Protein backbone atom coordinates (compact mmCIF):
# COMPACT_ATOMS: atom_id res chain seq x y z
CA UNK A 1 0.00 0.00 0.00
CA UNK A 2 2.80 2.41 0.92
CA UNK A 3 4.70 1.65 -2.29
CA UNK A 4 1.55 2.24 -4.39
CA UNK A 5 1.01 5.62 -2.72
CA UNK A 6 4.60 6.53 -3.51
CA UNK A 7 4.21 5.52 -7.13
CA UNK A 8 1.05 7.61 -7.49
CA UNK A 9 2.79 10.57 -5.83
CA UNK A 10 5.71 10.24 -8.25
CA UNK A 11 3.34 10.05 -11.23
CA UNK A 12 1.40 13.13 -10.10
CA UNK A 13 4.64 15.09 -9.68
CA UNK A 14 5.82 14.07 -13.13
CA UNK A 15 2.48 15.05 -14.72
CA UNK A 16 2.50 18.47 -13.07
CA UNK A 17 6.15 19.06 -14.05
CA UNK A 18 5.29 18.22 -17.65
CA UNK A 19 2.32 20.62 -17.62
CA UNK A 20 4.43 23.43 -16.17
CA UNK A 21 6.95 22.95 -18.96
CA UNK A 22 4.21 22.75 -21.62
CA UNK A 23 2.31 25.83 -20.46
CA UNK A 24 5.29 28.07 -19.76
CA UNK A 25 6.95 26.92 -22.98
CA UNK A 26 3.79 27.94 -24.81
CA UNK A 27 4.06 31.37 -23.21
CA UNK A 28 7.59 31.75 -24.57
CA UNK A 29 9.59 30.89 -21.44
CA UNK A 30 12.91 29.02 -21.63
CA UNK A 31 13.86 26.52 -18.94
CA UNK A 32 17.20 27.17 -17.21
CA UNK A 33 19.29 25.58 -14.47
CA UNK A 34 21.37 27.59 -12.00
CA UNK A 35 23.70 26.38 -9.23
CA UNK A 36 22.36 25.03 -5.94
CA UNK A 37 25.58 26.02 -4.15
CA UNK A 38 25.79 29.81 -3.99
CA UNK A 39 28.23 32.40 -2.56
CA UNK A 40 25.41 34.21 -0.74
CA UNK A 41 21.86 33.06 -0.02
CA UNK A 42 18.74 35.21 0.13
CA UNK A 43 18.79 37.71 2.99
CA UNK A 44 15.16 37.36 4.20
CA UNK A 45 15.28 37.94 7.96
CA UNK A 46 13.22 34.87 8.91
CA UNK A 47 14.67 32.32 6.45
CA UNK A 48 17.88 30.47 7.34
CA UNK A 49 20.12 28.70 4.81
CA UNK A 50 22.16 25.51 5.05
CA UNK A 51 25.89 26.29 5.03
CA UNK A 52 28.56 24.18 3.35
CA UNK A 53 32.33 24.56 2.94
CA UNK A 54 34.23 24.20 -0.32
CA UNK A 55 37.66 22.64 0.26
CA UNK A 56 39.89 22.73 -2.86
CA UNK A 57 41.41 19.38 -3.75
CA UNK A 58 45.15 19.38 -3.17
CA UNK A 59 45.13 22.38 -0.85
CA UNK A 60 44.23 26.00 -1.13
CA UNK A 61 41.85 28.27 0.70
CA UNK A 62 38.49 26.86 1.66
CA UNK A 63 35.44 29.09 1.43
CA UNK A 64 31.89 29.10 2.78
CA UNK A 65 29.00 28.38 0.44
CA UNK A 66 25.28 27.97 1.01
CA UNK A 67 22.56 25.81 -0.47
CA UNK A 68 20.22 28.19 -2.27
CA UNK A 69 16.98 29.14 -0.57
CA UNK A 70 15.82 30.54 -3.92
CA UNK A 71 17.35 30.73 -7.42
CA UNK A 72 16.26 34.38 -7.66
CA UNK A 73 19.67 36.05 -7.66
CA UNK A 74 21.07 33.86 -10.43
CA UNK A 75 17.94 34.10 -12.57
CA UNK A 76 17.97 37.88 -12.37
CA UNK A 77 21.58 37.83 -13.53
CA UNK A 78 20.31 36.02 -16.62
CA UNK A 79 17.79 38.82 -17.22
CA UNK A 80 20.66 41.31 -17.02
CA UNK A 81 22.49 39.27 -19.68
CA UNK A 82 19.61 39.51 -22.12
CA UNK A 83 17.42 36.48 -21.36
CA UNK A 84 13.81 37.61 -21.74
CA UNK A 85 11.61 34.83 -20.29
CA UNK A 86 13.10 32.17 -18.03
CA UNK A 87 11.75 29.55 -15.65
CA UNK A 88 13.24 26.94 -13.38
CA UNK A 89 11.99 24.00 -11.32
CA UNK A 90 14.64 24.39 -8.65
CA UNK A 91 15.59 22.38 -5.61
CA UNK A 92 15.79 24.82 -2.71
CA UNK A 93 16.73 24.44 0.94
CA UNK A 94 15.60 26.24 4.10
CA UNK A 95 17.00 25.31 7.48
CA UNK A 96 14.56 24.58 10.30
CA UNK A 97 11.38 24.63 8.22
CA UNK A 98 9.27 21.55 9.00
CA UNK A 99 5.47 21.72 9.18
CA UNK A 100 2.33 20.63 7.37
CA UNK A 101 3.31 22.90 4.47
CA UNK A 102 7.12 23.06 4.90
CA UNK A 103 10.00 20.65 4.26
CA UNK A 104 13.68 21.67 4.55
CA UNK A 105 14.29 20.59 0.94
CA UNK A 106 11.58 21.30 -1.61
CA UNK A 107 10.85 22.34 -5.20
CA UNK A 108 10.36 25.97 -6.16
CA UNK A 109 9.05 27.04 -9.54
CA UNK A 110 10.38 30.49 -10.37
CA UNK A 111 9.85 32.43 -13.56
CA UNK A 112 10.84 35.92 -14.70
CA UNK A 113 9.79 37.98 -17.72
CA UNK A 114 11.43 41.11 -19.09
CA UNK A 115 9.26 43.98 -20.24
CA UNK A 116 6.36 43.42 -17.85
CA UNK A 117 5.32 44.13 -14.27
CA UNK A 118 3.65 42.15 -11.51
CA UNK A 119 0.29 42.22 -13.31
CA UNK A 120 1.80 40.49 -16.35
CA UNK A 121 3.32 37.79 -14.15
CA UNK A 122 -0.01 37.33 -12.37
CA UNK A 123 -1.67 36.75 -15.75
CA UNK A 124 0.92 34.12 -16.67
CA UNK A 125 0.60 32.32 -13.34
CA UNK A 126 -3.20 32.41 -13.52
CA UNK A 127 -3.00 30.76 -16.95
CA UNK A 128 -0.60 28.16 -15.54
CA UNK A 129 -2.80 27.21 -12.57
CA UNK A 130 -5.99 27.15 -14.66
CA UNK A 131 -4.32 25.17 -17.45
CA UNK A 132 -2.67 22.64 -15.16
CA UNK A 133 -5.93 22.07 -13.29
CA UNK A 134 -7.85 21.46 -16.53
CA UNK A 135 -5.17 19.06 -17.78
CA UNK A 136 -4.71 17.04 -14.59
CA UNK A 137 -8.02 16.97 -12.73
CA UNK A 138 -10.74 14.39 -13.51
CA UNK A 139 -12.93 15.32 -16.46
CA UNK A 140 -10.88 18.43 -17.16
CA UNK A 141 -12.90 20.27 -14.52
CA UNK A 142 -10.72 22.87 -12.69
CA UNK A 143 -12.30 22.25 -9.32
CA UNK A 144 -11.02 20.65 -6.11
CA UNK A 145 -12.36 20.16 -2.60
CA UNK A 146 -10.46 21.64 0.34
CA UNK A 147 -11.64 21.27 3.93
CA UNK A 148 -15.03 20.11 2.69
CA UNK A 149 -15.59 23.10 0.39
CA UNK A 150 -15.54 23.30 -3.40
CA UNK A 151 -12.72 25.47 -4.73
CA UNK A 152 -12.71 26.58 -8.36
CA UNK A 153 -9.30 26.99 -9.98
CA UNK A 154 -10.75 28.51 -13.15
CA UNK A 155 -9.61 31.97 -14.21
CA UNK A 156 -10.21 34.75 -13.36
CA UNK A 157 -9.15 34.69 -9.73
CA UNK A 158 -10.26 37.14 -7.04
CA UNK A 159 -8.00 40.19 -6.59
CA UNK A 160 -7.78 42.21 -3.38
CA UNK A 161 -5.30 44.85 -2.31
CA UNK A 162 -3.83 44.24 1.12
CA UNK A 163 -5.68 47.33 2.36
CA UNK A 164 -8.99 45.99 1.01
CA UNK A 165 -8.39 42.60 2.63
CA UNK A 166 -7.68 44.21 6.01
CA UNK A 167 -10.87 46.28 5.80
CA UNK A 168 -13.00 43.33 4.72
CA UNK A 169 -11.64 40.57 6.95
CA UNK A 170 -10.08 42.36 9.94
CA UNK A 171 -12.08 45.63 10.07
CA UNK A 172 -8.79 47.55 10.14
CA UNK A 173 -8.12 50.64 7.99
CA UNK A 174 -4.56 49.88 6.95
CA UNK A 175 -4.34 52.97 4.73
CA UNK A 176 -4.80 55.19 7.79
CA UNK A 177 -2.04 53.29 9.62
CA UNK A 178 0.52 52.67 6.88
CA UNK A 179 3.99 52.60 8.43
CA UNK A 180 2.78 53.63 11.91
CA UNK A 181 3.09 50.71 14.33
CA UNK A 182 1.34 52.40 17.26
CA UNK A 183 -1.62 53.49 15.14
CA UNK A 184 -1.93 50.00 13.64
CA UNK A 185 -1.79 48.42 17.10
CA UNK A 186 -4.57 50.70 18.35
CA UNK A 187 -6.72 49.96 15.30
CA UNK A 188 -6.14 46.23 15.66
CA UNK A 189 -7.03 46.27 19.35
CA UNK A 190 -10.19 48.29 18.67
CA UNK A 191 -11.23 45.66 16.11
CA UNK A 192 -10.75 42.86 18.63
CA UNK A 193 -7.33 41.58 17.55
CA UNK A 194 -4.24 40.99 19.68
CA UNK A 195 -1.52 43.37 18.38
CA UNK A 196 1.13 41.90 20.67
CA UNK A 197 3.20 43.63 23.34
CA UNK A 198 3.78 47.41 23.27
CA UNK A 199 6.61 48.57 21.08
CA UNK A 200 6.21 45.93 18.39
CA UNK A 201 7.41 46.96 14.92
CA UNK A 202 4.84 47.74 12.23
CA UNK A 203 5.57 44.55 10.31
CA UNK A 204 5.17 42.41 13.44
CA UNK A 205 1.75 43.91 14.27
CA UNK A 206 0.75 43.59 10.62
CA UNK A 207 1.52 39.89 10.49
CA UNK A 208 -0.24 39.18 13.77
CA UNK A 209 -3.46 40.54 12.26
CA UNK A 210 -2.73 39.06 8.85
CA UNK A 211 -2.22 35.52 10.13
CA UNK A 212 -5.08 35.66 12.63
CA UNK A 213 -7.86 37.39 10.70
CA UNK A 214 -6.98 37.85 7.02
CA UNK A 215 -5.05 34.88 5.66
CA UNK A 216 -7.55 32.18 6.78
CA UNK A 217 -10.27 33.94 4.74
CA UNK A 218 -8.35 34.14 1.47
CA UNK A 219 -8.73 31.71 -1.42
CA UNK A 220 -11.70 29.87 0.07
CA UNK A 221 -14.01 29.51 -2.97
CA UNK A 222 -11.48 30.53 -5.62
CA UNK A 223 -7.82 31.61 -5.53
CA UNK A 224 -7.13 35.12 -4.23
CA UNK A 225 -4.44 37.51 -5.44
CA UNK A 226 -3.34 39.72 -2.56
CA UNK A 227 -1.63 42.75 -4.12
CA UNK A 228 0.03 46.05 -3.17
CA UNK A 229 1.82 45.30 0.10
CA UNK A 230 3.14 47.89 2.58
CA UNK A 231 6.39 49.41 1.34
CA UNK A 232 8.24 48.11 4.41
CA UNK A 233 7.67 44.62 2.96
CA UNK A 234 8.85 45.48 -0.55
CA UNK A 235 11.82 43.07 -0.34
CA UNK A 236 13.11 42.92 -3.94
CA UNK A 237 10.12 44.70 -5.50
CA UNK A 238 9.47 48.25 -6.70
CA UNK A 239 7.29 50.60 -4.71
CA UNK A 240 4.30 52.05 -6.55
CA UNK A 241 5.26 55.20 -8.44
CA UNK A 242 1.98 56.94 -7.66
CA UNK A 243 1.81 55.94 -3.98
CA UNK A 244 5.12 54.99 -2.32
CA UNK A 245 3.30 53.64 0.75
CA UNK A 246 2.74 50.42 -1.21
CA UNK A 247 4.95 47.94 -3.08
CA UNK A 248 4.16 46.21 -6.38
CA UNK A 249 4.14 42.80 -4.75
CA UNK A 250 1.57 40.00 -4.76
CA UNK A 251 0.89 36.70 -3.06
CA UNK A 252 -1.50 33.99 -4.24
CA UNK A 253 -3.69 32.03 -1.81
CA UNK A 254 -5.92 29.02 -2.48
CA UNK A 255 -7.47 26.39 -0.25
CA UNK A 256 -5.60 27.41 2.89
CA UNK A 257 -2.23 27.47 1.09
CA UNK A 258 0.07 30.36 0.26
CA UNK A 259 1.10 29.34 -3.24
CA UNK A 260 3.20 32.17 -4.65
CA UNK A 261 5.01 35.44 -3.99
CA UNK A 262 5.87 37.80 -6.83
CA UNK A 263 7.02 41.31 -7.70
CA UNK A 264 7.58 44.02 -10.18
CA UNK A 265 11.32 43.61 -9.88
CA UNK A 266 13.48 46.35 -8.39
CA UNK A 267 16.08 47.58 -10.91
CA UNK A 268 17.76 50.25 -8.77
CA UNK A 269 21.04 48.74 -7.57
CA UNK A 270 21.64 51.40 -4.92
CA UNK A 271 18.19 50.91 -3.41
CA UNK A 272 18.60 47.13 -3.54
CA UNK A 273 21.91 47.35 -1.67
CA UNK A 274 20.33 49.56 0.99
CA UNK A 275 17.47 47.12 1.52
CA UNK A 276 19.80 44.14 1.78
CA UNK A 277 21.96 45.98 4.31
CA UNK A 278 18.82 46.70 6.37
CA UNK A 279 17.88 43.02 6.26
CA UNK A 280 21.44 42.04 7.14
CA UNK A 281 21.31 44.30 10.21
CA UNK A 282 17.89 42.92 11.19
CA UNK A 283 19.24 39.38 11.00
CA UNK A 284 21.99 40.39 13.44
CA UNK A 285 19.47 41.92 15.84
CA UNK A 286 17.37 38.75 15.68
CA UNK A 287 20.39 36.55 16.38
CA UNK A 288 20.14 34.88 12.97
CA UNK A 289 23.18 33.62 11.02
CA UNK A 290 24.92 36.34 9.03
CA UNK A 291 25.27 36.21 5.24
CA UNK A 292 27.43 38.25 2.85
CA UNK A 293 26.04 40.41 0.08
CA UNK A 294 26.04 38.89 -3.39
CA UNK A 295 28.01 41.56 -5.23
CA UNK A 296 27.56 39.98 -8.67
CA UNK A 297 23.80 40.04 -8.15
CA UNK A 298 23.87 43.68 -7.03
CA UNK A 299 25.92 44.66 -10.08
CA UNK A 300 23.41 42.86 -12.31
CA UNK A 301 20.39 44.60 -10.76
CA UNK A 302 21.51 47.90 -12.27
CA UNK A 303 21.57 46.32 -15.75
CA UNK A 304 18.25 44.50 -15.49
CA UNK A 305 15.40 45.51 -17.79
CA UNK A 306 11.99 46.27 -16.37
CA UNK A 307 10.68 42.87 -15.33
CA UNK A 308 8.30 40.86 -13.20
CA UNK A 309 8.89 37.56 -11.46
CA UNK A 310 7.38 35.02 -9.10
CA UNK A 311 8.30 32.13 -6.82
CA UNK A 312 5.69 29.35 -6.69
CA UNK A 313 5.66 26.56 -4.13
CA UNK A 314 5.54 23.65 -6.57
CA UNK A 315 4.90 21.09 -3.82
CA UNK A 316 2.02 23.19 -2.46
CA UNK A 317 0.48 23.48 -5.93
CA UNK A 318 0.75 19.70 -6.16
CA UNK A 319 -0.90 19.40 -2.73
CA UNK A 320 -3.78 21.53 -3.98
CA UNK A 321 -4.32 19.48 -7.14
CA UNK A 322 -3.87 16.12 -5.39
CA UNK A 323 -6.10 16.94 -2.43
CA UNK A 324 -3.23 16.39 0.00
CA UNK A 325 -3.47 17.71 3.56
CA UNK A 326 0.30 17.62 4.19
CA UNK A 327 3.39 18.24 2.10
CA UNK A 328 4.64 14.82 3.20
CA UNK A 329 1.92 13.25 1.04
CA UNK A 330 3.47 14.65 -2.15
CA UNK A 331 7.14 13.93 -1.32
CA UNK A 332 8.69 10.50 -1.85
CA UNK A 333 11.09 11.01 1.04
CA UNK A 334 10.09 13.85 3.39
CA UNK A 335 12.61 14.90 6.03
CA UNK A 336 10.67 13.17 8.80
CA UNK A 337 11.37 9.48 8.31
CA UNK A 338 14.20 9.91 5.82
CA UNK A 339 16.57 11.64 8.24
CA UNK A 340 15.46 9.75 11.36
Domain positions in the chain: 2-155+269-338
CA angle 307, 223, 48 (to 5 degrees): 60
pLDDT digits (tens, 9 = 90+) for 131-142: 999 999 999 999
Strand partners, 265: 237
Q: Is residue 134 classed exposed, middle or buried when 0-12, 13-18 and 19+ CB atoms within 10 A define those classes?
A: middle
201-211 burial by CB neighbour count: b if 16+ within 10 A, else e? ebbebbbbbbe
Residues 6+ apart with CB under 8 A from 321: 12, 16, 132, 133, 136, 137, 144
Q: pLDDT tens per residue, the chain (340 residues)?
A: 578 888 999 999 999 999 999 999 999 999 999 999 999 999 999 999 999 999 999 888 999 999 999 999 999 999 999 999 999 999 999 999 899 999 999 999 999 999 999 999 999 999 999 999 999 999 999 999 999 999 999 999 999 999 999 999 999 999 999 889 999 999 999 999 999 999 999 999 999 999 999 999 999 999 999 999 999 999 999 999 999 999 999 999 999 999 999 999 999 999 999 999 999 999 999 999 999 999 999 999 999 999 999 999 999 999 999 999 999 999 999 998 888 7
pLDDT at residue 1, as a whole number: 55
Q: Between 118-136 and 314-322, two packed helices, what is the crossing angle to 10 degrees?
A: 40
Can you give the C-alpha Rg of the chain in angstroms?
A: 20
| CATH number of the 2-155+269-338 domain | 3.30.930.10
pLDDT at residue 3, as a whole number: 82
Amino acid sequence: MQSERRRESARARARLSAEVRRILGGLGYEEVETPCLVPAPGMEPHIDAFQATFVPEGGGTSRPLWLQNSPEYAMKRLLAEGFERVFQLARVFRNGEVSRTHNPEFTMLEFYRAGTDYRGIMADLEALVDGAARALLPGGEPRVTRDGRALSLAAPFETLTVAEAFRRHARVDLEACAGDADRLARAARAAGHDPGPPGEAFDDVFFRVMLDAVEPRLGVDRPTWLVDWPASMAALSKVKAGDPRWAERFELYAGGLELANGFTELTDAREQRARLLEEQALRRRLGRPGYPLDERFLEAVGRMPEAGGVAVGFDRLLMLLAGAASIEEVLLFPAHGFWD
